[in-house]
Amino acid sequence: MAFEIEYPLGATPLSEEEKEGLIPKHMTHHAELNEWEQLNIYKGEEWAWSRNREILNLAYLKQLHERMFDRTWSWAGTFRHSDKNIGVDWTQISSRIYDLLNDVEYQMEHQSFGMVEIATRFHHRLVFIHPFPNGNGRHSRLMTDLLLHKMGLERFTWGRVNLVNPSDTRNEYIAALQEADRGDYQRLLNFVNS
């Protein structure tokens, strides 16, 4: 690759193998890759919002990631095959996702929490599993918004900034996720609708 990818605090570095999956070969600057990736994501979002699908479904979860990143990364829609500084052991991903989807179905059926809290907990667990080599934040936030929409609710505002770039808002988001890691969801609940 002709340039080094820069990572904001809390973003997952890619392995060499994953970097080789970069589809556009003509990029010379990181900003170009961001722009390309963003166009890909817009197309994925358009695809997702124009369809009424079952959201809590393993095939859909992968398909959404594929649609968001299919022109950017050859491994779009495919779970990790290596470990990261965040996320579960890669061999556990499928079973952890399976459990998550079942648990959220159960929580909704039994109204274990309000829908906003169910969606917030879903986002936290999905990004904690970190199923994909990259794009987990953006994918799991969109999954959460699609789930809310499916339930007739407004999507979250997520701090109203692009959370991929470093900012105070992103720092607050990461801090809120880390509190959720310790079982306290209040800060994340405040954040998602801020």
Of 63, 134, 145, 158, which one interacts with ligand ADP (CB under 6 A)?
Answer: 134
Distance CA 106, CA 32 (A): 43
Distance CA 13, CA 4 (A): 11
187: amino acid identity, one letter: R
Contact (CB, 8 A) for 43 and 67: yes
Q: Which stretch binds ligand ADP (CB under 6 A): 25-33, 75-83, 133-141, 144-152?
A: 133-141
5 binds ligand ADP (CB under 6 A): no
Residues that bind Mg ion (CB under 5 A): 11, 134
The β-bridge partners of 22 are 73
100 binds ligand ADP (CB under 6 A): no
Distance CA 127, CA 136 (A): 6
**Least distance between Mg ion and beta carbon 38 (Å):** 12
Which pair of tokens denotes residue 93?
């991903």
44 binds ligand ADP (CB under 6 A): no
User: Which partner in ligand ADP, Mg ion, none is near 178 (CB below 5 to 8 A by kind)?
Assistant: ligand ADP
H helix intervals, the chain? 16-19, 30-49, 58-69, 93-110, 115-129, 136-150, 168-181, 186-192
Of 95, 162, 171, 178, which one interacts with ligand ADP (CB under 6 A)?
Answer: 178
Q: Which stretch binds ligand ADP (CB under 6 A): 54-62, 96-104, 108-116, 131-139?
A: 131-139
144 binds ligand ADP (CB under 6 A): no
